Chains A and B, each alone.
Chain A
Amino acid sequence: MSTPLLEVRDVTAGFGATTVLHGVSFDVPEGSIAGIFGLNGAGKSVTMKVLGGSVPARSGSVLFRGEDVTSLSPEKRVGLGMGHVPQGRQVFPQLTVEENLRLGAYTLRRKDKKRYGPALDGVFDRFPILAERRKQAAGTMSGGQQASLAVARALVNEPSLILVDEPSAGLSPVATLELDAVLQSVAQTGVTMVLVEQNIAFGLSLVDTAHLMQTGVVVHSSPVADLDSDTLATHLGIGKVLQAATGRALSARQDVPTPRGGSRAGRRAS
């Protein structure tokens, strides 16, 4: 098997006197979609921040394409091909859609300005709403549209890996639907993704592999197809009581029309 696109090796991290991550390890093979799930305080978001470089790892390492990026700045990592859809979307509210996208392609434009035009066209094709509103200030758009912009801003830089942090948080049900469509369509492109999501049912419908976290460690990793409600409930640490509920979350996933089960071929074909 070739080297995974992203390898996380025994990472610890924290703030001040508090250690949040106590040795997190997992791999993300090229072309796959990995989900990190856990309850509040499990360390999902801090893991994401360590991957992106905005929280330093205290020990352990992060390898991207086999290269150790643990001590690289966030912007350097972006230049290497890691893209972000940050928590809360974090579009630049006072800039227009077009300006947001142009900033998204900052490292691409520095490498080769000519690639920006086609990349932008590609993004506009995928998100016609953004093409329509290219002159509008991002802050005045709806939550769902901002989510599309955040995803587009990451895609326009032509990354090989996208880190998506809690995309559904704070979105209305309608906007969550829009977002789901967006992420499904991104998944079709074959780009590698790491997704952190607290809406577990929503997250499970998108990913191939689930990494379940509890108090700062990955306690269980398996293909989504192999997950059952028992495992899910136990490893999320929500106890027996909500087991019935996790069962429902899993079955909701099976209702999703797109065929899944880790088969990339199936997804690409659809």
Chain B
Amino acid sequence: MGQVLVLGLISGGIYALFALGVVMVYRGTGVLTFAQGEIGTAALFLAAFLVTDKGLPWFVGAAAALAFAVVIGCLFEFVVVRRMVGSDPVSVAVATVGLGLFLLAIEFRIFGDSPKALEGPFSGGVTIAGVFVTPTQIAALVVALALGFGLQAVLRRTDFGLGILAAAQDPAATRLVGVPLSKITLTVWGAGAALSAVAALLVEPTVGVFQPGYASELFVVGLAAAVIGGLTSLPGAVYGGILVGVAESAATRYLGDYNISGLRYLVVLVILLIALLGRQFWPQISALLRAADAGSKPTTTTPAGASA
């Protein structure tokens, strides 16, 4: 049990970080981004190049990777999203699919598909409930929690943050109070990209090696986590990530006998569907509950007939 929880929290922290990026972009623009994962991988390649190949310290590489991700996010907003004003969010989402594949293709082109390595910033680790936990794994969870709640605070405490919250609720009214919407979207895409770089940097040491497409696979789960968390709340993204992580590790533990490595993802899919359809059917469900609650109380029917 404890083991399941610890393993779940470890992967949950990572999923939460990816989910945070998704929620960030969705909150500010109403668009779901599918490029999140690959932006992370691209940033990781830069970090590996600087740290592993050039021998720079990890933190320098990580900072460069973050900056690089921000540049990708902002460029995408500036070159593509900005020209799609008035398009529906699905079209912009498809454009992010293009960005993801574009980055993937460039990674393949430059680095091929042989695994690359990036030494983590910390060594050692502790054993919790029989699981060996590394410092970066703890860092991932802590950073996810800190960002989830910290960013939420930033959004509510600063004028610009409030502008981001307002932009998601009513972009037209946001412009009418004088908030520059274009700066908001640019910032949001940049911040979303930065979050995916953070996620990629913190997950990499757990596996040790990576190749093109690496973070995208984790990102798909993070995307599910974001949707499960409600898509609009940053803390929700963290909860969603942790829920998915724990569910996955429980599935691996208790369904492990079936010896199907990927079965755990089916569990994520099921939770995702329950979350989505549950929300869709909620009015009906709550109406049913109310009806059951009302019990024998007769429903008053309005007298029929036109009033004239």
Contacts and interface: CB of A to CB of B under 8 A. Distances in A.
Interface in B127-177: 156, 159, 162-163, 165-166, 169-170, 172-177
B178 interface: yes
B177 A78 contact: yes
B180 interface: yes
12 contacts: A73-B180, A74-B175, A75-B178, A84-B177, A86-B172, A90-B170, A91-B173, A95-B165, A104-B177, A106-B163, A153-B177, A157-B178
Given A102-B162, A103-B162, A103-B163, A92 B173 contact: yes
B179 to A, nearest CB: 5
Contacts of B162: 95, 99, 102-103
Q: Nearest 7 A-B pairs (CB), nearest first?
A: A78-B178, A90-B173, A107-B178, A74-B175, A84-B176, A106-B178, A92-B166
B159 A102 contact: yes
B181 interface: yes
Contact of A73 (B165, B169, B172, B175): B175
Q: Which of B159, B165, B174 has the most CB of A within 10 A?
A: B159
Contact of B179 (A53, A84, A103): A103
A109 B160 CA distance: 11
B162 to A, nearest CB: 5
A31 interface: no
Interface string A52-90: 111000000000000000000111001100001010001
A82 B177 CA distance: 9
A148 to B, nearest CB: 16
Contacts of A104: 177
Nearest to B180: A75
Given A75-B181, A92-B170, A109-B159, 9 more contacts: A54-B172, A74-B175, A75-B179, A78-B176, A78-B178, A79-B178, A84-B177, A92-B173, A106-B178
Nearest to A159: B178
A167 B118 CA distance: 60
Contacts of B156: 99
B19 to A, nearest CB: 20
Nearest to B172: A54
A92 B179 CA distance: 13
Contact of B166 (A103, A109, A157): A103
A77 to B, nearest CB: 8
Nearest to A74: B175
B165 A106 contact: no
Contacts of B170: 90, 92
A128 interface: no
A106 B178 CA distance: 6
Contacts of A172: none
A94 B176 contact: no
Contacts of B180: 73, 75
Interface residues of B, number: 18
Interface string A102-132: 1110110110000000000000000000000
B225 to A, nearest CB: 22
B169 A94 contact: yes
A93 interface: yes
Given A95-B165, A99-B162, A90 B178 contact: no
Contacts of B181: 75
A106 B175 contact: no
Contacts of B179: 75, 103, 106
Contacts of A52: 176
B186 to A, nearest CB: 14
A74 B176 contact: yes
Interface string A137-149: 0000000000000
A92 B175 contact: no
Interface in B252-271: none
B194 to A, nearest CB: 24
Nearest to B169: A92
Given A99-B156, A106-B159, A109-B159, A92 B178 contact: no
B108 to A, nearest CB: 41
Contacts of B176: 52, 54, 74, 78, 84, 86, 90
B164 to A, nearest CB: 11
B165 A94 contact: yes
A75 B172 CA distance: 10
Nearest to A80: B178
B175 A75 contact: yes
A104 B170 CA distance: 14
Contacts of B178: 74-75, 78-79, 106-107, 157
Nearest to B166: A92
A99 B179 CA distance: 13
